[in-house]
Amino acid sequence: MQPKEISKFLSLVLRHQPQLIGIELDAQGWVDVTLLLQQLAAHQKVINKAQLEEVVRTNDKQRFAFNEDKTRIRANQGHSVTVDLGLAPQTPPAILYHGTAEKSLPSILEQGLLPQQRHHVHLSKDKTTAHKVGQRHGKPVILVIDSEKMTKDGFTFYLSENSVWLVATVPTQYIRREE
């Protein structure tokens, strides 16, 4: 398997469908590396520990993390399965950004940003990252989020290990389109 293919498949099983290869994530989203590699092989997705370490180290979005002794692995955020990443509330920068496709804009401006199948809405601290996210889904649009006002209004933000800002939802009054 190529690194990109490994990364995509790991995202699927460590964030959304662990049962696909017969693994269970613990309450914090961790799975034993040896078990993961065995179950990947049992499902014709053969990789070794060095390849896994390479994917974790080089993933451009830093989607995955090992525990300290590299015996367990988990996705850093983006889960649709229930996990508690143990993230502490954080104070975000005054402005955050969200990248989306232009086709999604009418719905967002009507309903706000919703987590969809995930636990949180994902926000970034810079426009470049938001643009990259938005272009994955079509013609990109960058939304500016007034996170300072949201914080003052009682919304709780978290910062994932790979520097993605997370919040339960973003109502429309805190969103404006980047011009």
| pLDDT tens-digit readout, 89-124 | 999 999 999 999 999 999 999 999 998 877 889 999
Q: What is the pLDDT of residue 77?
A: 84
In-domain check, residue 61: yes
State the total domains in the chain.
2
Same domain, 98 and 163: yes
Report, as an integer, the average pLDDT of 16-25.
Answer: 95
The set of residues, in sequence order, having a beta carbon less than 8 Å from that of 137 and lying 6+ positions away, is 100, 101, 103, 104
Q: What percent of the chain has pLDDT over 90?
A: 78
Domain check: are 70 and 97 in the same one? no
User: What pLDDT sits at residue 117?
Assistant: 77
How far apart CA 179 and CA 66 sit, in angstroms, is: 39
Q: Note the pTM of the prediction, 2 decimals.
A: 0.75
Spacing of C-alpha 113 from chain mean position: 15
Indicate if the pLDDT at residue 57 is higher than 80. Answer: yes
**133 pLDDT more than 80:** yes
Query: Residue 166 sits in a domain of what CATH number?
Result: 3.20.170.30
CATH of the domain at 59: 1.10.10.970
